[in-house]
Amino acid sequence: MLKSLDRNLNKLYKFSGYVAAFFLILVAVFILIGISSRIFGFYLRGLAEYSGYCMAAASFFALAYTFVEGGHIRITLFLEKLSGTKKKFIETWCLSIASFFSGYLAFYFVKMIIISYKFQERSEGADEILIWIPQTSVAIGSTIFFISVFHQFILTIKKD
């Protein structure tokens, strides 16, 4: 059962990376449309805001995939000098702190969505989109990141 869960979580992290790539493509498309619209003399409202929302979504969806693939700055230079129980203790301690803070972040992003939805907050830009819509991608991405950090924490505790 744990191997199946591990395999499915890794699929989730990879899917999260694909979603991040999709949002990066949208950023490029919105920027190109904005440049073309100036050249051809028409204006589309909110393109800069939409590209900003997509950039935030891409950043947060990429967190889990990058963490699992070892792309984040880690304490590996320090851990390479240690071995045995000292290494496992420091790694476990660091992942527990990271799990706490990433969980805290995810919790408050979800809380922020609930508040934005409850008060029907709108963006201050030209399009006045309901702000909970772009905030949802940030909350989902940070929640997946929390899951990935906590997953790594459990795997570190489990390994011999």
Q: Where are the domains of the chain?
A: 2-158
Q: Say what the pLDDT of residue 100 is.
A: 97
Tokens of 126: 């030209």
Q: Say what the pLDDT of residue 160 is.
A: 63
Q: Say what the pLDDT of residue 143 is.
A: 97
Tens digits of pLDDT across the chain (160 residues): 778 888 999 999 999 999 999 999 999 999 999 889 888 888 787 888 899 999 999 999 999 999 998 877 766 777 777 788 888 888 899 899 999 999 999 999 999 999 999 999 998 877 788 999 999 999 999 999 999 999 999 998 988 6
Q: Go through the chain and tell me how many residues it has.
A: 160
Task: Determine the number of helices (DSSP H) and then strands (DSSP E) in the chain.
Answer: 5, 0
Q: Say what the pLDDT of residue 15 is.
A: 96
Tokens of 70: 């070892």
- DSSP 8-state symbol, 88: H
Chain centroid, CA 108 distance in Å: 14
Q: Say what the pLDDT of residue 137 is.
A: 95
In whole angstroms, what is the distance from residue 58 CA to residue 144 CA? 13
In whole angstroms, what is the distance from residue 93 CA to residue 82 CA? 14
